[in-house]
Amino acid sequence: MSKNMSKKAIFEREFSIVATLVVGAGALLLSFPLFFEEAVGEIDWITIPMVAFPILGSIILLALASQQPRGMKEKMAFPVKAASLGFSLFILAISSALFFGWLGSIDWTTLKINEYNMNHEYTWINSLGISWHVGLDGLSFPMLWLTTLIIPITMITTWEENSGWYHHPLLLLMEGSLIGVFVALDMFMFYVFWELTLIPMFFLILKWGGKDRRYAAQKFFLYTFTASVIMLLGLITLYFLQDPSQYLIDRGVLTGRTFSMIDMTNNAQMAANNGSVWLGESMQNALFLMLMLGFLVKLPAVPFHTWLPDAHVQAPTSGSMVLAGVMLKMGAYGMFRLPLTLFPHALAEYQYLLLAIGMISLVYGSIVCLGQTNLKRMVAYSSVSHMGIVILGIASMQPLGFAGAIFMMFAHGIISPMLFSVCGSFKHHYHTLEIGSTRGLAKASPFLGVYMMFSWMASLGLPLLAGFVAEITVLVAVWMTFGWWVLLPALVLVITAGYYLWSMQRTIFEGSGEVVLPEGMAVEDARDISPWENIGNLLMALLIVLFGVLPWIIWDMMSAYANAHFYFNMGGLLNLVAGGA
């Protein structure tokens, strides 16, 4: 009796703590607009609700769960998962309201280069010139919106994942970290969030991954962290190469320098207007390579891609969905935000190197896919191939190519999570990832078969789906710059169709009318996907169709950013170094 009373007291205590935290969080959300409106004259919809709130919320949920015995954790699983999903849906509501103009009348298509909406800056480490500086433009907002779309969909799709009391808060922590990367306008802040994203992904792979999860998690961390250190050296070098400002010294900044991306872009602009190369050509080229190396590993591109297949094969479904959907896009985003903006001369200098990297990634990824027998590894290499298209768009040095590359980031961000969701469902229900081990899937699991076929078609670039828009715009841009070299990436798209159709034929349709199951699995054990998986895949399918049929919903802001970047950054310098294309 006393033991039951003790358990009841513990439950009531934990319930009261959770209730207090929820009420406190609600009060914070209700009061923060008034606070910031009084402090800075404009509501900061980024700092607390979109960055701090998910990170702090996830830490609190993880801390609460970690202190409970196993039985109590299982009882807390549903409330913790529901709270995590509720937080992510709240963030999605804010980002959608910003996009549609329900929170302020924002026109994302009229921003000039180095101009941002929701621009807020607060002193962080004054002695080093470090600020908490956030803002959004036509490059960062699509990535933010993509993040706020994919995280709740991932939570829904993987609702039945084991140890959900840890799993879903980690996804929430990942969301806050990713948003921090995309909204940061201070290089120090950018780097902090860049590294913070490694922590939840590392633990997702390590705890919920496959049998070789330790190796995959360590390889993922070492590759990306090492590349980030090289990138950090470039950022620090860039910081110390700035001329010290007496104004900043008088305000207590010991070095007289800042990590502000806006200030650095202005300095580069002033140098270009004076007819000089900011920091000198040799230094520009060196910094360009240092920063690009960090971003190419994260993307990833050949030959820096070897960590990705292992990470995807061993990662749980949620880890692969977020890794492919958003985390890889950090690499391309970083390219646009820093080296492509600050160093247009270096971009022109290394244009053909980028062309080679893009072509090799595209061709190599597709050819390797043809030889894969593991479904997840095949999809992982297809991501390497598709990221090659992003690099080709950059190498084209055309505004259409820039916009197409950004749209490919977004389109791949909604297609690849569906690909890995399908792979995860296949693994969960059939206990294998081997292509051909299960045949006649359409009969045994019709919903899974439909979603597999749809996502495969979306990834190979079927018209009226989001991937087609991105691919065709990049191909046109490549043709404008490199002429008939466009035939190579065009032929690779045929190879892409080949390996997807081959895997579909062997998995979904073969079997002579009978279902062929993996060895040791009975026919009665074959099940279709769960309602949670159904909802998640359906949402992603609708998004893929929506942005394939109506791409202008998000294309206009991307195109406006590309045009401003190309024609107006550095006084149109990028257009000039590209030969006036």
Residues 216-235: pLDDT tens digits? Answer: 999 999 999 999 999 999 99
Across 151-173, average pLDDT:
94
- DSSP assignment, residue 483? G
- pLDDT bin (cut points 50, 70, 90) of residue 105 is confident
Indicate if the pLDDT at residue 65 is higher than 50: yes
Each domain of the chain, given as residue ranges in start order, spans: 350-549
Indicate if the pLDDT at residue 164 is higher than 50: yes
Across 500-504, average pLDDT:
90
**pLDDT value of residue 500:** 92
Q: Which long-range contacts (CB under 8 A, 24 or more apart) does 34-41 make?
A: 36/120, 40/120
Rounded Cα distance between 463 and 452, Å, is: 17
Rounded Cα distance between 503 and 428, Å, is: 18
Give the percent of the chain with pLDDT over 90: 64
> Of 81-85, 265-269, 395-399, 525-529, which gets the smallest average pLDDT?
525-529
DSSP 423-461: HHHHHHHHS--BTTSSB-HHHH-HHHHHHHHHHHHHHTT
**pLDDT value of residue 39:** 43
Q: What integer best gives the mean pLDDT of the chain? A: 88
Left if phi > 0, otherwise alpha if psi is -120 to 50, otherwise beta: which for 41? left
DSSP 51-77: IIHHHHHHHHHHHHHHTS-HHHHHHHH
Across 78-99, average pLDDT:
92
pLDDT by residue (tens digit) across 517-556? 877 676 666 788 899 999 999 999 999 999 999 999 999 9
Rounded Cα distance between 36 and 22, Å, is: 21
pLDDT by residue (tens digit) across 5-64? 455 555 555 555 555 555 555 555 555 544 444 444 466 777 778 998 899 889 989 988
**pLDDT value of residue 35:** 43
For residues 368 and 520, which has the higher predicted lDDT (pLDDT)?
Answer: 368
**pLDDT value of residue 38:** 41
> Of 73-82, 370-379, 404-413, which gets the smallest average pLDDT?
73-82
Sequence letter at residue 197? T
Give the percent of the chain with pLDDT over 70: 88
Indicate if the pLDDT at residue 370 is higher than 60: yes
In sequence order, the 6+-apart residues with CB closer than 8 A to the CB of 346 are: 281, 284, 285, 287, 288, 289, 339
Indicate if the pLDDT at residue 581 is higher than 50: no
Across 317-332, average pLDDT:
96
pLDDT by residue (tens digit) across 119-147? 898 889 999 999 999 999 999 999 999 99
> Of 10-19, 117-126, 280-289, 434-443, which gets the smallest average pLDDT?
10-19
Global pTM reads: 0.91
Rounded Cα distance between 479 and 562, Å, is: 18
